Structure 1
Amino acid sequence: MQVTDLEWMITIGVAVAVLLFDVIVIGRNPHEPSTRECAIALSIYVGAAIAFGTWVTISHGGNYGLEFFAGWLTEYSLSVDNLFIFIIIMASFNVPRQFQQQALLIGIVLALVFRAVFIALGAVAIEQFSWVFYLFGAFLIYTAWKIGQDTDHDDDAENAVVRFARTYLNTTDEWHGMKMVVRAGAKRALTPMAIVVVALGTTDLLFALDSIPAIYGLTQEPYLVLTANIFALMGLRQLYFLLGDLMNRFVYLSQGLAFILAFIGVKLVLHALHENELAFINGGHHVPVPEIPTLAGLAVIVVTLAVTAVASLWKTRSQNA
């Protein structure tokens, strides 16, 4: 895929502009957004992703368009799963509703930064070492197994980094808006918002470890990997408030994501075998195994998400009836 410098600059420029717009709007008017506000913003972001994928199809070819949509849907699904953890963090730290937008925005910015770093590292690793697909595939299959076991999600927001901050750093339980550090007597202390940001940041780091190998299993184009992640994170803040308690109705989301990650993991292993250069496998020669076409991969992802959503809503509706 030939991406011009102008395309890169426009893409990064628009992403930064949208991010700055969010920062300025939220900074000037911190509030809990209405359902109508969230629905409009989310529609714009989803529409923009579809329009971008259509442009990729027209400008660079249908296969690249399919790769973008497959990557975007997968990253979006993983981002929705990420929302479960965000909700748990907000509840665990009793973040006031008026501050949740700012905290979410910080979490999304951190997610973009971490994913950009891993995208760059992944691109270098793939370029230099073809066997890295074996590692990516094995890691995704293991991750799928772990996610499939964790159907209720982990209610403990106190991860190791947060516990370290609480134990060894001076902290205060009083909220001071978006301030991270305040003066408490003669010393400076970290506010609850700082602890929340640490929790969100470390969560984002862990999710980046899962999401980047997953999308590299669908496309090896760094431009598509980056844009799919950007569009997946756009609107995540609005989705948080729009779904609210409805998040609890997606009871089969973990199983659906586990199946998708396992499928991509197998796809990666097959690709690694097809491109094999490891001496102890088939004497260092390529293994003649079938590879899964992009269209088939996209179909599996779409059908899995549809079945997961319908089954989840049907079960929760039956339980509430």
Structure 2
Amino acid sequence: MNITPLVWTITIAVTIAFFVYEFFAHVRKPHEPSIGESARWSAFYIGLALIFGVVIGLVPDWGWGYSGEYFAGYLTEKALSIDNLFVFLIVMAGFAVPKIYQQKVLMIGIVIALILRGGFIAIGAALIENFSWIFYIFGALLLFLAYRQAFAHGDSNPADGKFMRFVRRHLPVTDEYHEDKLTVKKGGKRFVTPMLLTIIAIGFVDLIFAVDSIPAIYGLTEQAYIVFTANAFALMGLRQLYFLIGGLLERLVYLAQGLAVILAFIGVKLVLHAMHVNEVPFINGGEKMLWAPEIPIWFSLLFIGATIAVATVASLIKTRRDPKSLERTQVREAEIVSADDAEANSDGHR
């Protein structure tokens, strides 16, 4: 796949332009997006991502093989981004961020995520270009992450984790929000607000998710351009999707298990590919194991799409039929609403 510097420049410039437009058109003025607004923009960005995949297939020097890699990568990154949204939801509730300011936090968090992933993409591309054994490392990492994803406890709150306790010990923090300001001056001393702490927490979460997502998509394609564009399109519209499916997120009880299956599948795919291009002296004498099967991209795309669909449908069936699961969902939603209402009342008295 021949990507010229001009194509890279245009792609990055258009990506930045979209986020700049998002900020000035939707985020700069604090407000809570309506369901209609969120639905329209979510559909727009998903449609744009699908059109771009078709364009890749239509370009003569690229073709439908790369288009399949893009769609598989986009599906994987979108699923991981939705899992990311669930953690964002927990962070927002933990810091009691008023809904009218949540757009700004999400926007900054998504931009941080794109920057971090861009750095990881560049590092991953350099490693793959120079060290074929990195596929073994990526494969093992994804298998470990799949295990962690499957058995992780979803009740942990990043807003009260060790990292955030460390930040609070070293930064003077106010107890209340001051609109959407990140710092405020009191009695001649500069304090940081909970808004800044929320952004720091989300940035830390983004770093963790970048470690998951980049090796995962490099298991589906070795093209850095596809890795970048799939990640960019997965993150575009994520802010609107947060407000559109915020209530639904709590009902996706099998999302973690579905993602674990996807990560494990890609991990196995990476190890098989590593065996195919093996140059490690102490593995099979440094000889390539051409008998190792290569999983075709069409099967990867089908497997990932089916796994996401099964996890979503099974989650919705469980929360509908299981009263205890539904009750836990309602309790969590009530906690989030109560936190927002308490903060709104506090703002009204100030």
User: Same fold by TM-score, threshold 0.5 exceeded?
Assistant: yes
Give, in whole Å, the separation in 1 of the partners of 2:75 and 2:4: 25
Q: TM-score, structure 1 length as denominator?
A: 0.97
Q: Is the Cα contact below 8 Å between 1:26 and 1:102 reproduced in 2?
A: no
Deviations along 1:225-277, whole A, 9 cap, x unmatched? Answer: 00000000011111110112111111110110000000000000001111110
Contact 1:42 1:239 in 2 (8 A): yes
Partner of 1:172: 174
Equivalence for 2:11: 11
- Residue in structure 1 matched with residue 303 of structure 2 by the alignment: 300
SS of residue in 2 equivalent to 1:157: helix
Q: Structure 1 CA distance, aligned partners of 2:263 and 2:118?
A: 20
Would you say 1:34 and 2:50 are equivalent positions? no
Residue from 160, 164, 170 that aligns with 1:162: 164
Aligned to 2:281, what secondary structure does the other structure show? coil
Deviation, structure 1 residue 110: 0.4
Letter aligned with residue 7 of structure 1:
V
Alpha-carbon shift at residue 278 of structure 1 (Å): 0.5
Are the aligned partners of 2:142 and 2:212 in contact in 1 as well (CA < 8 Å)? yes
CA distance in 2, matches of 1:156, 1:171: 17
Amino acid at match of 1:118: F
Tell me the residue number matched to 1:43: 43
Mapped contact 2:177–2:195 kept (Cα < 8 A): yes
Calculate percent identity across the aligned residue pairs: 52
Per-residue deviation, 1:8: 1.6
Q: What's the offset of the Cα at 1:27?
A: 4.3
Provide the rounded CA distance (Å) in 2 between the counterparts of 1:7 and 1:178: 37
Matched position secondary structure for 2:264: helix
Aligned to 1:210: 212
- Give CA-to-partner distance per residue, 1:40-75, whole Å, 9 cap, x none: 000100000000000001111111000000000000
Counterpart residue type for residue 91 of structure 2: I
Instruction: Report the Cα offset of residue 153 of structure 1.
Output: 4.8
Give me the whole-angstrom Cα distance separating, in 2, the residues matched to 1:40 and 1:131. 44
Query: TM-score, with normalisation over the residues of structure 2?
Result: 0.89
**Structure 1, unaligned stretches of length 5 or more?**
none
Following superposition, the deviation at residue 151 of structure 1 comes to: 5.5
> Unpaired segments of 5 or more residues in structure 2?
327-350
* Residue aligning to 1:85: 87
- Counterpart AA for 2:314: A
SS across alignment from 2:178: coil
Q: Which region of structure 1 is more displaced relative to structure 2, 71-80 or 16-25?
A: 16-25
1:227 corresponds to: 229
Deviations 1:84-111 (A, max 9, x none): 1000000000001110000000100000
Structure 2 counterpart of 1:267? 269
Give the aligned partner of residue 276 of structure 1. Answer: 278
Matched-pair contact (CA < 8 Å) for 1:214–1:261: yes
The total of aligned residue pairs comes to: 321
Aligned alpha-carbon RMSD (Å): 1.2
1:147-170 deviations in whole A, cap 9, x for unaligned?
Answer: 000263523422333211101211
User: Residue 343 of structure 2 corresponds to which residue in structure 1?
Assistant: none
